[in-house]
Structure 1
Amino acid sequence: MKQTYRSRTAFVLGWVWLAFVAFNVWDLIAHYTGQASMVALAVLGALTALVYVVALRPATVFTEGELVGRNPLRTTYLPWASVEDVTVSHSINVEHGGGRVLRLWTPMSTARERAKAQRRSAPRQQRGRYRTEPTLSRSEQAAVDAFAGKTHADWVGEQIRDRAEAARRRDEEATPARVTWSYDAIAAVVAAVALVVAAILAG
């Protein structure tokens, strides 16, 4: 079963930006005014390529056989049995291949998110004679306990570690990671550069 983890905020804002760009491109084409329109299209194209590369494309994907790290310009395919260690700081760092490190672009852990997680893990003080907070069910309390003091990145890092240990228990082969270029991201950057060149030539 395939599972995908990414920054939800960046993903939503990326699609909002695409909707904004689509409307503006239609308006610029419908009311084309020469160089001014070309410059505006070039700016929109450059910003859209940036948004796609850093907000829409990055993802951490779990498949049955491997961890797939989709970073802005490259994709790494790492078999679970090849994962040697996982540490989480600002990003999730996956050690493999005797010293190599795969830094996953998403999800990341910000200082604000980590401080919020620490506040969640602190014992709550009861004020007054009566409790004002709702009583959680057993499953809800278990979920709260599982995430206590942890960010989303911490939780994903634990899932990677668990899957790697399970793969080693099954005696799966630890093969080297495969790294490929992200041709879609490169195409977006090339298209943006082409629009900038066209805007310059239009002048």
Structure 2
Amino acid sequence: MKQTYRAKTGFVLGWVWLAFVAFNVWDLIAHYNGKPSLVALAVLGALTALVYVIALRPATVFTEAGLVGRNPFRTTFVPWASVEDVTVSHSINVHHSGEQELRLWTPMSSARERARAQRRGMPKQERRGRFSAEPTLSRGEQAAAEAFAGKTHADWVGDQIRERSESARRRDEEATPARVSWSYDSIAMVAVAVALAIAAIVIA
């Protein structure tokens, strides 16, 4: 079963942008007025290509066989047994197949998210003021809170990668080299964006 992790804010904003573009394309076509409409369409197309590459395409995917890192222009598949170490800073860095490293674009941890996670990991008496009150949590909620205490979403995903790689090694799975392929959809989108930008300049 696949599990996919994305930058939720960027992903949602990307789809909001697509809805915005769809409405504006319809409006520009319905009220076409020559060069200004063509320039606006070209600009919208170029920006949409960038939004796709940066916000919609990146994802971290867990499969039964291994880890799939979808970055803007490349897709890397790393078998679980080939994962040697995982470090988490601003991004998740997966060390595999000797000297190689895969930097995942999502999820990432900002300085603000890291600060919030550190506050969650502090003892309760240090976090709450004298008159503050915290809601009573159920047993499941308390377990989840303890699991995430002091951790960002990126830290948690990094832990899951470590656990899966260790489990694969315990099953004596073969550590095979990672497979890297280009993202032809992203390359095509950027090519279209460049072509639209050039067209907008020429038309203007």
Q: What TM-score do you get using the length of structure 1 for normalisation?
A: 0.95
2:107 counterpart of 1:107: yes
Taking the aligned partners of 1:189 and 1:46, their CA distance within structure 2 comes to 8
Unmatched runs of 5 consecutive residues or more in structure 1: none
2:11 alignment partner in structure 1: 11
Amino acid in structure 2 at the alignment position of 1:9: T
**SS of equivalent to 1:173:** coil
**SS of equivalent to 1:51:** helix
1:96 alignment partner in structure 2: 96
| Alpha-carbon contact 2:14-2:51 (below 8 Å) kept | yes
- Would you say how many aligned residue pairs link Structure 1 and Structure 2? 202
1:202 alignment partner in structure 2: 203
Residue 198 of structure 1: CA displacement? 2.8
Residue 131 of structure 1: CA displacement? 7.7
After superposition, the C-alpha distances for 1:109-168 in whole angstroms (9 at most, x for unaligned) are 10000000001111122666x983222121111100000000000000000000000000
**SS of equivalent to 1:136:** coil
Residue 194 of structure 1: CA displacement? 2.3
After superposition, the C-alpha distances for 1:14-65 in whole angstroms (9 at most, x for unaligned) are 0000000001111111112222111111111111111110100000000000
Root-mean-square deviation (CA), in Å?
A: 1.5
2:173 alignment partner in structure 1: 172
Taking the aligned partners of 1:127 and 1:121, their CA distance within structure 2 comes to 16
Identity %: 77
Amino acid in structure 1 at the alignment position of 2:134: E
| Alpha-carbon contact 2:43-2:200 (below 8 Å) kept | no
Amino acid in structure 1 at the alignment position of 2:164: R
1:150 alignment partner in structure 2: 151
Amino acid in structure 2 at the alignment position of 1:189: V
Taking the aligned partners of 2:34 and 2:196, their CA distance within structure 1 comes to 13
Taking the aligned partners of 2:48 and 2:192, their CA distance within structure 1 comes to 10
Residue 96 of structure 1: CA displacement? 0.7
Unmatched runs of 5 consecutive residues or more in structure 2: none
Taking the aligned partners of 2:70 and 2:132, their CA distance within structure 1 comes to 46
2:184 counterpart of 1:191: no
Taking the aligned partners of 2:104 and 2:188, their CA distance within structure 1 comes to 22
Residue 2 of structure 1: CA displacement? 0.3
